[in-house]
Chain A
Amino acid sequence: MNHWAFVIAAYGLTLGATALLLGLSAVAMRRAEADAEAVTRR
């Protein structure tokens, strides 16, 4: 049995989910901080 298909699936799933979570968290943080800053300046 070729194990590489299993290895690629496991790495793809974990790294993809981590990258997605990091990206979404960074965007949400920047957006929330920018909105709060804009209202504070107003």
Chain B
Amino acid sequence: MHRFANPARFLKLARPLTGWTLWPGLLLLGAGVIGGLFVTPPDYLQGDSARILYIHVPTAWLGMAGWSGLAIAGISQLVWRHPLATLAGRAIAPVGALYTALCLATGSIWGRPTWGTWWEWDGRLTSMLILFFLYLAYVALASAERERGAGGEGKMAAIFAIAGAINLPIIHYSVVWWNTLHQGQSIDLVRGESTIDPALLWPLLLTVLGFTLLFCAIVLMRMRADLARTRLEMRLKRQATEAA
């Protein structure tokens, strides 16, 4: 991982990787959306509202995966002092916050015709809402630390990201620990089993993969923009020093 501590080396990989994640991501998402909207049959119980799950599940996955990324970046920063870790954290956080908000919104839209309510204070929904607030707090903390410009930039945000990761198992097991309206686990990644019929499952796999690749593309673009701005600031400062 330290091979990419050098921004030039990181950019050499990030430039082609942006395209490799963007275009396949768009293709997979397009195929998944078409499949989910027009090809799969309606669910026998939920009817057409089940089609919302093809975009709700990927947004939930990205909200949680995003925070996992923040926690890993936090550990990389505190333990190995990886110079790109702070940058990665700043790039991931707003995107993760957006997908967590979309998860809450699409879940609410699905809940109205299925449960008869927009919102229910059950374990899964409440822990997901807490994740959204954690993202907002991380963004505020990272911005404040950057503006302050003190040494050890982003250290508090890194500690906050690691501590906030305690919410991830709570979200995952909330449907097991508490009696909730939210349905239990349908796909077991460890055992490779699913309770969803294959006729309804394939668009979900496409949208999960498509959204994940697009998430990576967006994060890479944000990191490249941040690196370019830093490079620009350094050049301007150097030119001002030389001119003085």
| Chain A interfacial positions (CB closer than 8 Å to B) | 1, 3-4, 6-7, 9-11, 13-15, 17-18, 21-22, 25-26, 28-29, 31-33, 35-36, 39-40, 42
* In contact, B222 and A36 (Cβ under 8 angstroms): no
Q: Report the bound CA distance from A32 to B224 in whole Å.
A: 8
Q: Report the bound CA distance from A1 to B218 in whole Å.
A: 37
Instruction: Kindly state whether residue B49 has any CB partner on chain A within 8 Å.
Output: yes
Q: Report the bound CA distance from A21 to B222 in whole Å.
A: 10
* In contact, A33 and B224 (Cβ under 8 angstroms): yes
| Chain B interfacial positions (CB closer than 8 Å to A) | 22, 29, 33, 37, 47-49, 51-52, 55-56, 59, 95, 98, 102, 105-106, 109-110, 112-113, 211, 214, 217-218, 221-222, 224-226, 228-229, 231-232, 235-236, 239
Note all chain A residues with C-beta closer than 8 A to B221: 25-26, 28-29
**Contact status of A7 and B51, CB under 8 A, knowing A22-B214, A25-B222, A39-B236:** yes
* In contact, A10 and B109 (Cβ under 8 angstroms): yes
Note all chain B residues with C-beta closer than 8 A to A3: 47-49, 113
Q: How far is the CB of A24 from chain B (nearest CB, A)?
A: 9
**Contact status of A7 and B112, CB under 8 A, knowing A25-B221, A25-B222, A32-B225:** no
Q: Is the interface of A mostly helix, strand, loop or mixed?
A: helix
**Contact status of A15 and B228, CB under 8 A, knowing A6-B49, A25-B218:** no
**Contact status of A29 and B224, CB under 8 A, knowing A4-B48, A35-B232:** yes
Q: Report the bound CA distance from A42 to B239 in whole Å.
A: 10
Cross-chain contact of B52 among A7, A25, A42 (Cβ < 8 A): A7
* In contact, B228 and A13 (Cβ under 8 angstroms): no
* In contact, A32 and B49 (Cβ under 8 angstroms): no
Given contacts A6-B49, A21-B98, 17 further A-B contacts (CB under 8 A): A4-B48, A6-B110, A7-B37, A7-B51, A14-B106, A21-B218, A25-B218, A25-B222, A28-B225, A29-B224, A29-B225, A32-B226, A35-B228, A35-B232, A36-B231, A36-B232, A40-B231
Note all chain B residues with C-beta closer than 8 A to A28: 221-222, 225
* In contact, A9 and B109 (Cβ under 8 angstroms): yes
Q: How far is the CB of B93 from chain A (nearest CB, A)?
A: 13
* In contact, B232 and A39 (Cβ under 8 angstroms): yes
Q: How far is the CB of B178 from chain A (nearest CB, A)?
A: 25
* In contact, A1 and B113 (Cβ under 8 angstroms): yes
Cross-chain contact of A39 among B48, B106, B235 (Cβ < 8 A): B235
A-B contact pairs, 15 of them (CB 8 A): A1-B113, A6-B52, A6-B109, A6-B112, A9-B109, A11-B33, A14-B55, A14-B59, A18-B29, A22-B22, A29-B228, A33-B225, A39-B239, A40-B235, A42-B239
